[in-house]
Amino acid sequence: MPELPEVETVRRGLSPVMEGQVITQAVVNRDGLRWPFPQGMAGRLTGARVTVLRRRSKYILADLSTAETLLIHLGMSGRMLISGHMLGQFHQDHPAAQKHDHVVLDMEGGARVTFNDARRFGAMDLMDTATADRHPLLATLGPEPLGNAFNESYLVARLKGRNTPIKSALLDQHIVAGLGNIYVCETLYHARIAPQTKAGDLSSTQVAALVPIVREVLLEAIAAGGSSLRDFRQADGELGYFQHGFQVYDREGQPCATPGCGAVVERIVQSGRSSFYCPTCQR
């Protein structure tokens, strides 16, 4: 499932063709995806201007001139694809409709934004902008890891005395929003902390050091366009490239990236998810 860097990459790709533009026509080709679409979604989107395109955790939020906000969740395989716009010196024509094109937004500038989702685990919803932060998918989220509210004192306080493994704690969206398996594995490698270490056993210094490492890993991933493992594509259809720089994720049995370490990356399963780590560097 796309994590924060992938969703932020898609948001940035959509921004030039959606922000400030009117949705001249919205076409909805099915009743819903993971959940039913809101009643009358096509009509409520058609004619609305996108005032701001933002991200919260792993969700894209499009604030509309109608005082509603469109929530977009990519799910496992969802893609927001752009056509009919200028890419450098080249114009991309609209492709033929595909089987899994579930929502199509024609923008006044000539661009078309298509939500394609083969596995249908994605979602869209409409909510009042003024109360968007109370939406069930957003209400209990923790702070954004790239925002000021996610700081050393906050994380030390939230992890103090917790008996859960640090890997699970960082995946908890109530503690910090947007982190997923890939970037938690990479963060813990850079922090030299084993994923099975109990969060409450870490010193305040170790916990505080996680904050800048989380930010550095995320910013590097965003700069690389995210990680493309199976389904993820950027809004222009291109792959992300951060996977080429993985230090531990999906590198089971390969040499540790730390010069002179000599160990190989191991994999364990925690709460049904794979954790990759170096048993020598991460203790």
CA max distance for the chain: 61
160 is catalytic: no
For the beta carbon of residue 67, count every other beta carbon within 10 angstroms: 11
Catalytic residue among 55, 58, 233, 251: 58
Catalytic residue among 144, 215, 273, 279: 273
Catalytic residue among 3, 6, 8, 68: 3
Catalytic residue among 2, 143, 165, 195: 2
273 is catalytic: yes
User: How far is Cα 133 from Cα 99, in angstroms, rounded to an integer?
Assistant: 33
Residues 6+ apart with CB under 8 A from 104: 26, 27, 29, 97, 112, 113, 114, 115
203-215 burial: b if 16+ Cβ within 10 Å, else e: eeebbbbbbebbe
3 is catalytic: yes
Q: Is 11 buried (19+), middle (13-18) or exposed (0-12) by CB count in 10 A?
A: buried
Which of helix, strand or coil describes residue 103? Answer: strand
User: How far is Cα 79 from Cα 141, in angstroms, rounded to an integer?
Assistant: 23
19 is catalytic: no
Residues 6+ apart with CB under 8 A from 76: 1, 119, 121, 122, 231
Total length of the chain = 283
Task: Give me the phi and psi of 214, to 5 degrees please.
Answer: -55, -50
The tokens for 12 are 């940035």
Question: Mind telling me the catalytic residues?
Answer: 2-3, 58, 273
